[in-house]
């Protein structure tokens, strides 16, 4: 059984992202972030074959998504978003757990991510899942007022 088949069977509502989802994904991205990804970034990730999954509640109603790249025994969580209004229901945790399974199945031994210090809910989720802060990237993210915000770099070892 493929990882995709396994996840779809075990995690109702989770499925691979398709190009047809991009309008709904972009609507969530724009509502959730002051500095959203562009449609082109999502499209490039799809074409590159990244692991891209959505929470699908039927008829195009999406409650979140995640994007993960895997290369050279490392995975990088690039985007994890729960749609505004759906927070606090465990959807981000479910998506993160699904993406970690995909990373393991893809041969990754560790997973990296960057997160804004101004996003304490995400930081708490990552810490509860087993990620640890390993460094900072100064002035990594754009911020309001034409300023920049550091990124907290986190990593997690994937143990069998």
User: How far apart (Å, rounded) are the C-alpha atoms in residues 96 and 1?
Assistant: 21
Closest to 52 in 3D by CA, of 22, 28, 9: 22
Asked if residue 119 belongs to a known ligand binding site, the reply is: yes
The torsion angles phi and psi of 12, rounded to 5 degrees, stand at: -55, 135
Choice among 29, 50, 65, 126 that is catalytic: 126
Q: Is 114 a catalytic residue?
A: yes
Q: What's the token pair of residue 152?
A: 């907290």
User: How far apart (Å, rounded) are the C-alpha atoms in residues 69 and 109?
Assistant: 13
Task: Tally the C-alpha atoms within 13 A of residue 148's C-alpha that lie toward its C-beta.
Answer: 7
Q: Vertex 46, ends 55 and 140: CA angle to 5°?
A: 85
Choice among 74, 114, 140, 149 that is catalytic: 114
Look at the block and give the residue holding tokens 């082109």. Answer: 40
Contact 157, 74 (CB under 8 A): no
Query: Which residues are part of a known binding site?
Result: 119
Query: Which residues are part of a known binding site for acetyl-CoA?
Result: 119
> Which residues participate in catalysis according to the annotation?
114, 126
């Amino acid at each position: 059984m493929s990882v995709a088949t396994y996840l779809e069977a075990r995690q109702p509502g989770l499925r691979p992202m398709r190009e047809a989802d991009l309008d709904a994904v972009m609507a969530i991205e724009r509502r959730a972030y002051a500095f959203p990804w562009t449609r082109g970034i999502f499209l490039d990730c799809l074409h590159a074959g990244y692991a891209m999954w959505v929470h699908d509640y039927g008829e195009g109603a999406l409650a979140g998504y995640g994007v993960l790249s895997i290369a050279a025994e490392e995975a990088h969580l690039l985007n994890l978003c729960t749609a505004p209004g759906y927070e606090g229901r465990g959807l981000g945790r479910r998506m993160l757990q699904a993406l970690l399974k995909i990373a393991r199945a893809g041969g990754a031994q560790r997973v990296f991510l960057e997160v804004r210090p101004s996003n304490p809910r995400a930081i708490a989720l990552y810490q509860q899942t087993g990620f640890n802060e390993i460094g900072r990237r100064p002035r990594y993210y754009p911020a309001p007022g034409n300023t920049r915000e550091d990124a907290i770099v986190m990593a997690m070892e994937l143990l069998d």
